Structure 1
Amino acid sequence: MLSYLLTNKKDILFIWWNITKGSIIMNFRQLRGVFFKAGKMQFPEQKNLVRQLGADSMVLLKNSDLLPINRGKIALFGAGAVDTVCCGIYYNYVYTDKNVSIKEGLLENGFTFTTDSWLEKMEKSLKQEEKVLKNQAEDKLFSGRRAYVEEVPISVADMAEAILGTDTCIYVIRRQATYEDIGSLEYQLTEEEHENIKLISGSFKNVILVLNSGMIELSSVARMKNVKAIILMGIPGMEAGNSLADVLTGIVNPSGRLTSTWAKKYKDYSTCYNATKRKDTSKEIDYKEGIYVGYRYFDAFDVAPLYPFGYGLSYTNFRIDARYFEASWMGGVVIRVKVTNTGAVSGRQVVQVYCSQPEDKLDKPYQILVGFGKTGKLKPGESEEITMKIPIMQLCSFDEENSQWIMEKGDYLFRIGDNSRNTNLSAKLVLDKRTVYKRVTEVISPKKNLEFLTPPPRTLEKTGYIFSTSLSGDDFNSENKVVVPTKSFTTLVPEGSNYVSYVNSNPYEIPFRAEEKIEYVKPCGTTTFFDVIKEKITMEEFVSSLSPEILARIVSGELNESKLQNENRFGFDFRFDRNKLEVAARTTSQFATTLGIPGVTIADGPSGLHLKGVYCTCYPSPMNMAQTWDMGAMVRMGRAYGREMEHYGIDYCLAPSLNIVRNPMKCIAYELYSEDPSLSGIMGAGFIMGVKRYEGRNVIIKNLPTINQENFRRDVNINVSSRAFGEIYLRSFSVCQFTGQPAGVLSSTNSINGEPACSQRGLNTDIIRNDWGFKGFVMSDWGSDTEKSYDLHAGCDLIMPGYNPDKILESMMETAPTFEEDGYVSVVETAYLYDIPMIRYENWGSFMLDKDGKDKVVAKVPSDIEISEKALKAEKEGLCKIETEMDGTKTITYFGIDRGAYFALGELQQAVIHILSAIKDSAAMKKLMEHAKI
């Protein structure tokens, strides 16, 4: 602390001044965060990895024989030159000891500038705005929110200085990560940017445009003659400036490729007309584009993009030759290609394989990405063979009418190339009959009629001489590939106990009702969780010994938990100190030294660990990492990430984010990997593999599903076809889960086809567990405003960031509402984050409001008390009747359903089993056992 006081006088004076002025703008939590900032990165050598990954993730979009350039004197303009965006905000934000701006990176790598005067003005403007930001609330000071700095105009004097001694200018456009509704600023150049680019291109022979952003409308400047090079820098992590310098000078030959289609204009995207914005009052979005998202739409409807999916240039050239092709039901499709560097410098190439499926009953995209691979660094004239294995499931389509995954009869044409618009037809798979690959239960379907896009008929093409093989539908047996819904659950009861189901006889129909079955197990009331790990007892036997009060606390996050006195089954005392860092969440640790159940620590951070006030490595954004098209790069990032998780005692990280990008010109597209689900899933799986190299470390993939609607309403309802849901929005999760095996899945706060995602049993049980074989836990998202017992019944096991366990227990008994004096029930809102309560519920007990319900409850309001606005609103909605008595008192009669005891013990036990099954392999579990010395 003393060293901090000596070296950070300005911060201390700033805090002291605010306290003495009577305006304590920082609570102790914030203050602790400031003091923690005095530390250093534990693994500074990982900056070299960030620098490499950042350079590999950049996409060269245009190069008219300009790049690479030599070090020396250049002009440097653009707000992003000094105000470089290195990472995202909120849960994407990573505290670092140093983010390298573009200006700093170029200076460190041998460049000098003719624009020092303009850069100084830009830096001064930035510092002034940052001072204003420091005086604002915690969500802006500690969550990565950036000062919005307008670009300083380029004066005549600035330009006169800039052109002295150089004919090359770099102009940096940056877009700050934000959740605000900023309209067209997300995807259009500002008037100032337009004018500056025109001014610069008229003054310099060589202009390099650097995009420190996601995709924007670029057609007007991409055609400019003197704009000879364009680089999509994206959001490349803490070494941003150094990574860019490596690409500009040719130390790194750019090998990044686009993971979303770059349209000529925003309105070219199929999704732009049915997206809403933050300030819209609409609570519904219809995904009318169906399966035609991204390149699937551009190809099928023949819309020319500015840059196609998979596009990216290099400083060298490559030739791709197909060498081998085979297919079988068990082994899938195997393709081998030879890649040769035919250019003059070393480089890497991305090979992409697309498949055009036959059209019969179902309409199809023109092509879908089914496989990809990336070479190592090839010297001029050097070759490498890449083998790609494509599972048959990748070639299947979803038949909504019959709830089947099928392959339709016909020719499956395989195209190989380096982007979706530059491929060669190389192989053909012929299927002789329509074949059902898997039968599933219809669980996700829209409740309203949706008019979907229909593509024009596809033109038949001649294949010529290519590799060819065939499959026979009779050789595939799908009889055992049937996924049926789970219609029952099991309550575990110790032998000798008397337990009678109270939910089977309850007339109330809980959504997705299931039958309760009772299974008697060996009593083991003196055992601990350690005994499960040592295989002395089964998980089911241990869980059956836990009281409902204990179970309810295990399924609730630690935040605002209530303590419970419970017996110490160890028979001795030992100490266990939990992780004290400020993290996203923890599970309860109050049973660690009594039952042997540790609390696990969960941290945010798709781009690096988000630990308040603790310096960690800030990696390239998910968008950038996906642009490497390199699963090995994801493994390396995950391994470095896991190293820091181990050091700081983090069990799980909330990453990767696997939702697809519906519209890459929206400002937070950088949080996601791609518009293609297979690419997203594979890259996410690589990250998981890296993290899991460290024992006890794992991930929670997110957000299942459809967190890509661009309006950020927690209560928005997404109407989507079951085909699009399966082929587009779920596929990335299934691919990643099957390959990477995460510890958990984070659900979403929105509804899908009229039902909250975390309350859908068909999604959280039938699809995730029965179909995919997922063995971990499902976790609710922060602030999900749902009936938690419904969530648990549906298969959502862990409530985050916390909850009142007594509210869960209430649903297992008959409970009356708790009314306030104003005639409405008491409402609990707590754990605020960015002005939104993360924990919220109304104390209706077993009673559920329903204007058509046959049951009633009555509240009395004294004559001198005003009736609650909520009650008045309920009256307008037909949910209650308000009558004034002769003495002035008011009687409020609420209509609804008395649900009684509707949530079963077995469902609570099932959630705990899922949670503990993951915790037993966690680092926290190992640490606890070491402390107990057992």
Structure 2
Amino acid sequence: MTTFYAPTSPEISKREQTHMETIRALAANCMVLLENDGTLPLSAQTKKVALFGNGARHTVKGGTGSGDVNSRVVVAIEQGLEKAGYTVTTKNWLGEYDQCVAQAKQTYTEKLEAVKKQYGSSAGVLYYLKNPFLEPHVQAVTTKDIHESGTDTAVYVLARNSGEGKDRNNTRGEFQLAEEELEAIRLLAASYKKFILLLNIGGIIDTTELLQIQGINAILMIGQLGNITGFAVTDVLFGKTVPSGKLTDTWASNYLDYPSSDTYSHMNGDVDDEYYSEGIYVGYRYFDTFNITPNYCFGYGKAYTEFSIQTLDITVNEENISVTVEVKNIGKIHPGREVVQIYTSAPAGSLEKPYQELSAFAKTQLLAPGGDEILTISFPVSSMASYSEKEAAWVMEAGTYYIRVGNASRNTKIEAAIHLSSTVKTVQLKNLFPMDEPMEEISSRNISSYSYASEAFEKENAKILTLDPSEILLQLIKYQSERPTYLDQYPDVKITIDEVKNKQFTSEELIAQLTVQEMAELCVGTSGGRATVVANAAITVPGAGGETATLEDRGIRSIVLADGPAGLRLTPHFRATADRELLPGGEIMGFDYNPLPEAGPEGSVDYYQYCTAIPVATSLAQSWDMNLIEHIGKIVGKEMQEFHVHLWLAPGMNIHRNPLCGRNFEYYSEDPLLTGKCAAAETRGVQYYPGQGTTLKHFAANNHEDNRMFTNAHVSERTLREIYLKGFEIAVKESRPLSIMTSYNLINGTHAANHFDLIQSAARDEWGFAGVVMTDWYTSNKLTDEIHKYPISSSPLCIKAGNDLQMPGSQQNIDDIVSAIEAGERA
């Protein structure tokens, strides 16, 4: 008899209420104030608001696909304003847009149902992923709408949604603003005394045309904050809370300014091969080094007040650099929080170097007007090293390293110059990722980088510090070249997992007794027998991504894995018989929903698994507050504990290489340091609860969605190590996550899931990862009859490379593993 842990009461739980209240209180830290002429916060005398835009009533809580969360409620901006006592005066305009959305949804749903009827439910999910519903363009705003609004204050909510399975397009209505949006914003900006633009988006949009419009008093990047978005935004608009977020990406003035713009994903018509020819020059590393001015730089964000940052001291030894700063709120009205960002500039030698790289950061507490705080921020000397493929080592080249202190990547001051007299290695490794074909990377040699008027003066007058190269220690890595062999030492005893837990035997001694068939079955997970791609329903936790296999005679029980990373994605309402047999109905993935019958059989029981939709990863990262992120991780961990979910398939931590990635909202940043710190913090929060763990994904170089299972990422070893693996390394070392998920794509001709050096040599040998490695879902299963340039990953090679689990897997995967062993294809 199956045990279900979900509550049977349909009433909102105290846990739901507490978690929503907590996120509401924290969410302002995740919002980025891009522009403000003093209009925000709105005064208490403002009672009526003219509300427009596609996100006003249809506010996006988070993206689509497996990153979606089935929460009980989603608080839209309109609802948030009205619950706070403000009157929304544009009901007619909002109602007209409702009709447009309803018609578009009906058309979309009819098409989806037709696909399912003809090709089956799995085909329906694939259609939903590859052709996500996009809400229709807004209707025009008329002078009549404005006249009848009866207020001098207007708010326009511009929303965008995207998700798993499809990248965005550089077209109007997606990356660019639609003509209808621009026309409405121009008219509103010219018609209202106070006009505020809210960006309800999970990824970058083109703001160049926006910034040319006169009369926009404030632009607030509210992001996608989960199911309480409307409440949190209202709090910020009227000053109950204050925004303190900073951008985690560079917002270019033109999409073509991004170095990967021409060849990214579908942009050149080739989704089979992705060439990372920009090398290490990703995000601000590129814009700064090649002196391209963005609309908004990395780390940028205003506040309702102003701050001063004064560097008090900088010290260095062979291990750490410490920077002590005083931050003061120099405003007279509003409180606020500031983020101190420290960048380093390394000398160019045999290795090219970016203009600067983020090395450390810290955020103040909430400072009242006139209040101050002293922060001491430290980071390892070795973090200033670059990877040399020639030496197969992390290397600090001789020369001068500059320490820059400020509150955004283009608002810093050089405060110290550290001299290193000779080149030193910090870690000796071996090269793991040879290129499968030649590729020329862009070069910054003879390029004039970004600079500013006082930079030369600051270099000449910076505090001089010295590093003794003989004091910097060299770390040597020991690699495992062969798998260990375990022999059964206790043939007369049948070892169980409980005896291993009680330390009567070791796990190796248990493994030695298992047959090849048993081990293969344990390595291949399940979706719960009755599950489809739609439901992904684990038996004990319906709607979860899957369960691992069991071995009853050994006492090995399954563990449950659930999607993320914006909360748990579970079936919110399901039904079972009196004997606890799960009944069909309730499965949901976006628009693909199998409704529950109005009533079940006699004696059946209804269960409820409503989860909290937390802010998406990009919004969390915009807080630059690791304590906040850890706290929100605890929210997820608590819900995992309640529903008996063991591994959360999150955090997503791929790099924002290009703004068109459909899944960027699931990831933190263009910067690997910030990415790694955020993932470590979220992991610490989840794993605060014993028995619950995170799954870092997607490992690695999974940076676009189109053709994601068959794309070959051609990328240099240095670029991989400095940009695309660095965040994973930081998270592993700082938080000891219980799991890692390998990605679908190939890396230089080898599937990530089949890559021994990625899984064993890098993660386990170099970083010390000691948890479970699993594949992404169906990685070695052919889901369609489509023909691709590259094949799916090999099931036996997944195991040989070091994956402990293939999820959810199939009988064919088990058979392939057993056959490979029998044929002598041993690791």
When the two structures are superposed, what TM-score results if normalisation uses the length of structure 2? 0.86
1:491 equivalent to 2:485? Answer yes
CA RMSD, Structure 1 to Structure 2 (Å): 2.5
1:370-426 residue CA offsets vs partner (Å, 9 max, x unmatched): 000001111111111112221233211000112110001111111111100001111
By how many angstroms is 1:318 displaced? 0.9
Specify the SS of the correspondent of 2:217: strand
In the aligned structure 1, how far is the partner of 2:701 from the partner of 2:398? 31
Corresponding residue of 2:374: 385
CA 1:251 to 1:703, structure 2 compared with 1: closer, same or farther past 3 Å? same
1:809-854 residue CA offsets vs partner (Å, 9 max, x unmatched): 11111xxxxxxxxxxxxxxxxxxxxxxxxxxxxxxxxxxxxxxxxx
Does structure 2 conserve the Cα–Cα contact (< 8 Å) formed by 1:186 and 1:665? no
In the aligned structure 2, how far is the partner of 1:606 from the partner of 1:39? 25
Corresponding residue of 1:175: 160
By how many angstroms is 1:133 displaced? 5.4
Match of 1:708 among 696, 703, 709: 703
Counterpart AA for 1:708: N
Counterpart AA for 1:531: E
Does structure 2 conserve the Cα–Cα contact (< 8 Å) formed by 1:656 and 1:702? yes
In the aligned structure 1, how far is the partner of 2:134 from the partner of 2:305? 40
Deviation larger for 675-684 or 118-127: 118-127
Specify the SS of the correspondent of 1:775: coil
In the aligned structure 2, how far is the partner of 1:293 from the partner of 1:457? 17
Corresponding residue of 2:555: 596
In the aligned structure 2, how far is the partner of 1:398 from the partner of 1:91? 35
In the aligned structure 2, how far is the partner of 1:775 from the partner of 1:116? 56
In the aligned structure 2, how far is the partner of 1:720 from the partner of 1:142? 31
Matches within 5 A, 1:824-903: 900-903=823-826
1:625-668 residue CA offsets vs partner (Å, 9 max, x unmatched): 00000001111101111110000000010111111101235443
1:746 equivalent to 2:746? Answer no
1:788-810 residue CA offsets vs partner (Å, 9 max, x unmatched): 11121111221111232222111
Counterpart AA for 1:581: P
1:807 equivalent to 2:816? Answer yes
In the aligned structure 1, how far is the partner of 2:166 from the partner of 2:268? 9
By how many angstroms is 1:779 displaced? 0.8
Counterpart AA for 2:484: T
Corresponding residue of 1:586: 547
Does structure 2 conserve the Cα–Cα contact (< 8 Å) formed by 1:288 and 1:453? yes
Counterpart AA for 1:325: I
By how many angstroms is 1:220 displaced? 1.9
Match of 1:53 among 26, 42, 51: 26
Match of 1:691 among 686, 693, 696: 686
Counterpart AA for 2:546: A
Deviation larger for 458-467 or 745-754: 458-467
1:294-344 residue CA offsets vs partner (Å, 9 max, x unmatched): 0000000000010100000001111111123222233x2122211111112
Does structure 1 conserve the Cα–Cα contact (< 8 Å) formed by 2:656 and 2:670? yes
Q: Determine which structure has more spread, i.e. the larger CA radius of gyration.
A: 1
Corresponding residue of 1:791: 798
By how many angstroms is 1:131 displaced? 4.8
Match of 1:78 among 47, 53, 63: 53
1:239 equivalent to 2:228? Answer yes
Corresponding residue of 1:842: none
By how many angstroms is 1:45 displaced? 1.6
Matches within 5 A, 1:573-652: 579-589=540-550, 591-592=551-552, 594-613=553-572, 614-652=609-647
CA 1:37 to 1:204, structure 2 compared with 1: closer, same or farther past 3 Å? farther
Counterpart AA for 2:498: F
1:525 equivalent to 2:493? Answer yes
Specify the SS of the correspondent of 1:272: coil
In the aligned structure 2, how far is the partner of 1:578 from the partner of 1:282? 36
Matches within 5 A, 1:733-772: 733-772=728-767
In the aligned structure 2, how far is the partner of 1:583 from the partner of 1:378? 42
In the aligned structure 2, how far is the partner of 1:523 from the partner of 1:384? 65
CA 1:477 to 1:199, structure 2 compared with 1: closer, same or farther past 3 Å? closer
Does structure 2 conserve the Cα–Cα contact (< 8 Å) formed by 1:714 and 1:750? yes
Counterpart AA for 2:668: Y
Give me the identity figure in percent: 32
Deviation larger for 600-609 or 481-490: 481-490
Does structure 2 conserve the Cα–Cα contact (< 8 Å) formed by 1:275 and 1:711? no
In the aligned structure 2, how far is the partner of 1:441 from the partner of 1:473? 22
In the aligned structure 2, how far is the partner of 1:748 from the partner of 1:114? 48
Does structure 2 conserve the Cα–Cα contact (< 8 Å) formed by 1:258 and 1:627? yes
Specify the SS of the correspondent of 2:483: strand
Matches within 5 A, 1:918-929: none
CA 1:712 to 1:377, structure 2 compared with 1: closer, same or farther past 3 Å? farther
Provide the aligned length of Structure 1 versus Structure 2: 739
By how many angstroms is 1:441 displaced? 1.1
Corresponding residue of 1:196: 184
By how many angstroms is 1:903 displaced? 2.4
Counterpart AA for 1:550: E
Specify the SS of the correspondent of 2:682: helix
In the aligned structure 1, how far is the partner of 2:283 from the partner of 2:270? 27
Does structure 2 conserve the Cα–Cα contact (< 8 Å) formed by 1:441 and 1:485? no
Specify the SS of the correspondent of 1:45: helix
CA 1:612 to 1:379, structure 2 compared with 1: closer, same or farther past 3 Å? same
In the aligned structure 1, how far is the partner of 2:519 from the partner of 2:267? 38
Corresponding residue of 2:348: 359
By how many angstroms is 1:561 displaced? 7.9
CA 1:493 to 1:83, structure 2 compared with 1: closer, same or farther past 3 Å? same
Deviation larger for 380-389 or 699-708: 380-389
Does structure 2 conserve the Cα–Cα contact (< 8 Å) formed by 1:266 and 1:665? no
Corresponding residue of 1:890: none
By how many angstroms is 1:596 displaced? 1.9
1:422 equivalent to 2:411? Answer yes
By how many angstroms is 1:130 displaced? 4.2
By how many angstroms is 1:37 displaced? 11
Match of 2:517 among 549, 554, 557: 549
1:270-307 residue CA offsets vs partner (Å, 9 max, x unmatched): 12122022994541010010000000000000000101
Deviation larger for 468-477 or 618-627: 468-477
By how many angstroms is 1:524 displaced? 6.3
1:16-69 residue CA offsets vs partner (Å, 9 max, x unmatched): xxxxxxxxxxxxxxxx9xx99956454222111221233221100000121110
In the aligned structure 1, how far is the partner of 2:10 from the partner of 2:371? 49
Corresponding residue of 2:84: 109
Corresponding residue of 1:468: 464
Counterpart AA for 2:137: E
Does structure 2 conserve the Cα–Cα contact (< 8 Å) formed by 1:483 and 1:766? no
Match of 2:362 among 370, 373, 377: 373
By how many angstroms is 1:733 displaced? 0.2
Matches within 5 A, 1:426-465: 426-455=415-444, 456=447, 461-462=456-457, 463-465=459-461
In the aligned structure 1, how far is the partner of 2:630 from the partner of 2:67? 19
Does structure 2 conserve the Cα–Cα contact (< 8 Å) formed by 1:681 and 1:731? yes
Please list every run of 5 or more consecutive structure 2 residues that lacks an aligned counterpart in the other structure: 114-120, 531-537, 573-608, 780-791
Corresponding residue of 1:875: none
Matches within 5 A, 1:500-515: none
By how many angstroms is 1:531 displaced? 1.4
Specify the SS of the correspondent of 1:767: helix
By how many angstroms is 1:540 displaced? 1.3
In the aligned structure 1, how far is the partner of 2:702 from the partner of 2:516? 33
Match of 2:93 among 89, 103, 118: 118
By how many angstroms is 1:543 displaced? 1.1
Deviation larger for 730-739 or 580-589: 580-589
Specify the SS of the correspondent of 1:274: coil
In the aligned structure 2, how far is the partner of 1:232 from the partner of 1:560? 41
